[in-house]
A and B are shown apart, each in its own frame.
Chain A
Amino acid sequence: MLIQLRETGETPLPHEGDKRLAVGIDLGTTNSAVAISTGNKPEVIRDAHGRALVPSVVAYAPDGAVMVGEEARRELLENPGWVVSSIKRLMGRGVEDIKKLAGALPFEVAEPATGESAMVRLKISGRRLTPVEISAEILKALKHQAEEALGHEIARAVITVPAYFDDAARVATKDAGRLAGLEVLRLVNEPTAAALAYGLDKDAEGLYVVYDLGGGTFDVSLLRLEKGVFQVLATGGDSALGGDDFDHAVAEQFLRERAEKHGAHALSPAEVAQTLATARLVKECLSQHSKGEWVLDAGDKSSRHTLTRPELEKLIAPYIDRTIGICRGVLEDAKLSASEVKGVVLVGGSTRIPYVRKRVGEFFGKKPLADINPDEVVALGAALQAEALTAGSDTLLLDVIPLSLGIETMGGIVEKIIPRNTPIPVAQAQEFTTYQDGQTAMMIHVVQGERELADQNRSLARFELHGIPPMTAGAARIRVTFAIDADGLLTVSAQEQTTGVSQRVEVKPSYGLGEDDMARMLRESLDHAKDDMVKRLLVEARVEARRAVNAVTSALAVDGDLLDNTECAAIERALQRVESALRGEDREVLNAAVEALDASTLGFAERRMDRGIRKALAGKTVTELEDSSATGS
């Protein structure tokens, strides 16, 4: 009998060859990047031209062609109507959110059809597209770039999200990954990923702040670093604040100057896009130079504009003030002061602006760290986490929920269920009762945010509990459990306590896609969607089969003496059938072999439990029992 003996808790990870390697993806507002890590050495994956950053820009030509990155950005000049940029700002957003940004975003928004969720849909080149589909195009391009560079298929990824992303935006990001043909192993918060990239480099210990100002989002996280543990203590931010706002401020300034000269006139979406592109150049230029002059062409008139660095600083100061205020709030949440912070890490392209560095440095009283390229650091951290999840790691990320989770009660008041900055995963239960005799259903509205009134917070989902046993009002006790997993995603389950009638509800956010939508998009988007699904199921079945084989071989090693030769041979045969099915490609055969293995060990399991009980009654623990049998064999 050939049995492999393994240390407790050290069953080997399944190996599926290189294609089981996972990449780390920073899906940014302005730029995205993909990286891979082997042996704790993360590297950004470049394209054929040596470029690491892929502009988060997608262009849809009327003939159906889709372009991503530089190629799409070039269309901005010729065919601005085909082009979508900064789509991240719309992830998990609804139509009414977009109206608030109206004018700021050069998109044409389609009204939702009846029965559709409130998720925003854009009209581009005659197509109706959700932010999930548009983001999926960026992810597909990154996946392709990685596959070209590495020479093999990439099917799994860690994708980063702003720490301050709410549940709807997180779900949208995960859905985009699925649509791009990627299994999303984990959503990691961007500041946490950046800390991971820095921490491993520097072996840092103590309190660190990550100040992450990107194109469209601002995040700040306070972390405690200690012997490979990255513990997020508090996080804050604004999911609609970033470099894009600076561009808008500059563009508005120029348009005001223009209106004084030529009189006000409405700009076409294309002209808005061009003005914003110019404004971005202005901002970038003034990080290097103290002054510059630019020309705006719109309609048949052109205008000249000058801007100095101090003038730019004045334009963006209100936004920087907001970020500093958020930093102060995060320190307060953690009951810490700025002087206790050991280091400040800068992340995101907008932290290249000298004024941002100056203000952050002043607030924390120390020169911020920016040794790692702020555009690449998040992808590098994501790659490290991807390696940790697939190959194992000594580091540990402990993150928190960024926004409080609550439910709407009578009068629209929010009752907090899980306060912000609670470590995840987390679960909390709340008991509800019925208010009418015979009531069998109940609606629960889940919101996320810090405000007192439900409608001032973000609506995540309304879900209905059905099948409450009819009782007099107030007699039913329905325990609803709100659980947040390690991705920061919410699941709600409910159970009536007196009868035990339970119901599990997967929350589909108010701004999410239904399973039907998702299935249709997968069909339309991926020619190989079905193949991918079959492959994934086979991989899962193999992981499960290896677990079963390990369980039985371990049990035989310890308690094999409980079996006679015939019984032992029967189990051995069942094991061999699983082993041979594992070498094949047929999932059905594999699953059947595992079931047969389970069945062949039923009697064995009973005898093992009997032995365990006898030992336990004799006052021995199983661990002692194992120790004695190990020395005996």
Chain B
Amino acid sequence: MNSTLPLLAIGFLLIVLVGYILRRPETESGSAAGSSDLLAAQAVPAVCLPPEQRQKELLDRIFGPEDWEFVLSRAPKEVQRLFLRERREIAFCWLSEIRSRAKAAMQFHIAHARRSEKIQALREARLLIDYFLIQAKCVFVAAVLLLRGPIALRKMFKQAGGLSDQLRSLLELASRVEPLANDPRGS
């Protein structure tokens, strides 16, 4: 019993720390970037590649091993440290963006669902579960980053791709709301 208490306390502290780190970029970017802005930002068309392909390439670049191997073989220790610091920061930004988008999608869905005549309990439950799964996965990835350092980034490519796919399906599900029959905005 005596040994479990400090472990529980450390675990709690870690969760609080991870929560703080994930929230920080949101507050830095300010509250002006509200939910509607975040949803609108996704609608910006990609120039060269389809959005899925672009997102995949971006994640591959952030989490893939290629750049780290290049830095490891060609750059001195201080540049290696700079690279790891930079990539960790980007990984946290990406996690924060995923969380913000999921949150914005839920806010959008709730706002529209309130005006809807037909609420499907099953769909709402699925949406809620998906939302909490995304948030939990974000906390997990952030905790691994925090505990194991940015070296662990290399092994997280699948986790990262999975989170992006989950977010995409959540956004799709959240946007499916039947408006009121007499609601002029919904017709």
Do A and B interact with each other, yes or no?
A: no
Interface residues of A (CB under 8 A from B): none
